Amino acid sequence: MNFTDIKLSGKTRREHDLLGEMEIPAEYYFGVQTMRAVENFHISRVRLCFFPELIRALADVKQGAAMANLELGLLDPAIADAIVRACEELRAGKLREQFVVDMVQGGAGTSTNMNANEVIANRALELLGHEKGEYQYCHPNNHVNLSQSTNDAYPTAVKIALVRSIEKLVGALRELIAAFHAKGGEFAHVIKMGRTQLQDAVPMTLGQEFEAYAANLAEETERLEVNLKLFYEINMGATAIGTGINADPDYAEVCTRCLRGITGLPLVKASNMIEATNDTGAFIMNSSALKRLAVKLSKICNDLRLLSSGPRCGLNEINLPPRQPGSSIMPGKVNPVIPEVVNQVAFRVIGNDLTVTIASEAGQLELNVMEPIIVHCLFESIEMLVNAMNTLREKCIVGITANEEVCRRMVYNSIGLVTALNPYLGYETSTMLAKEALETGKGIYDLVLEHKLMSEEELHKVLRPENMVHPRRKIEE
């Protein structure tokens, strides 16, 4: 639901900020600073509400801050309780449509932080029995944002949300890996020709090819999980630049402990809060891991498109599930649309990684004001990768079938079989056979017998495709 779909009664409340006063529709839980941001930032048209995990994490942070301020005697118990209850509602998914700020914004995330502060303050006011906008009883800055700055609350919420989002990504990746493993077992008996540089190489099984895809992706689960731990270090209590101005000396430790309890994550206070406030290294590393996964997915999808090419004039070793007609002019054409869309997602993720890199480099002095575009890119990349992997698994991988006879025929017709003769005939003789086979169109098997280089029995043992898909000792003559 978009905030523009909220039914309005026509009633308003008057709010003010540094720049003046503004009429706010009575139904809006956000206030004047959020409205300024809505007016200013028509950029990506992707709003905070598109990413529920970010809203949930913002609520986590504001609840943790309220609990810490209460424990330290800085916040009235009734106000703290109302803030906590409002945050719990947000964490349960309520009022999501009230998070309306564009993900791409100026101000280093201030608009996002204030959107959360205002929604929580106005819901807390209702819980206290007051009207929205009666901020003398619960103020977005004085109470909800107490002991905080955008510069610690925003990146902390982002890190918490990214941890959960990447955990979801890893789950989708593991399911895709399992699908490749299943196909590896299903195709374990299918002999085919391996290729290097798009040229015939040596025999293998189709099962080995799919198991290799599974192993290739399995490496990425470890990489993602290792980089994920970088997000556990947070800077709550750093306030504006890391010096902790306007925060109680004990606030950082208490707030971090409260957040550990709320999120269940092993969060720790940064050892150097000034460094933690301006550093974006964790974002760079995780973006790089997303790019690496995207590159591998794209490579695999390129392979699937090649292996299924044809059906009459290509490799035609596998069949991808037909998903839709492939042409408005060519009857009967069916395209590999699922691998194609995954390729395009990969290109976007690779581009997002470049944006994260440049934005991280562009931060000056004690704060990186480019964090909103970094955050937008990371969440978009994760969301697109999750959807792409689920689509690839459900609509492509599980339905792939093998053209066994095509695969076997290619093996027997391939000059690549000559590689197996190296240990017996030597490289020079094997090269001569390969050249003659190319020039005459004859098979390697027939040429060896024609030149009386090996007996038919010896040749059958050596060139049996099933004997060439694993390491083995030289067959004695």
Catalytic residues, by residue number, are 327
Q: 296, 288 in Cβ contact below 8 A?
A: no
| Residue 58 amino acid letter | L
How many other C-beta atoms are found inside a 10 Å radius of the C-beta of residue 462? Answer: 20
Spatial distance between the Cα atoms of 46 and 298, rounded to a whole number of angstroms: 26
Residue 21 in 3-state DSSP?
Answer: strand
| Residue 24 amino acid letter | I
- DSSP code, position 322: P
Pairing of strands 318-319, 191-196: unpaired
Spatial distance between the Cα atoms of 81 and 87, rounded to a whole number of angstroms: 10
Q: Residue 120 forms beta bridges with which residues?
A: none
Spatial distance between the Cα atoms of 461 and 377, rounded to a whole number of angstroms: 56
* Length of the chain measured in residues: 477
Spatial distance between the Cα atoms of 149 and 145, rounded to a whole number of angstroms: 7
Angle at 447 between CA 442 and CA 452, to 5 degrees: 165
Pairing of strands 268-269, 233-234: parallel
Spatial distance between the Cα atoms of 100 and 401, rounded to a whole number of angstroms: 46
How far apart, in Å, are the Cα atoms of 49 and each of 34, 44, 63, 85, 103? 13, 13, 19, 20, 9
Residue 76 C-alpha from the chain's centroid: 41
- Buried b / exposed e over 60-82, threshold 16 CB at 10 Å, is bbbbbbbbbbbbbebbeeebbbb
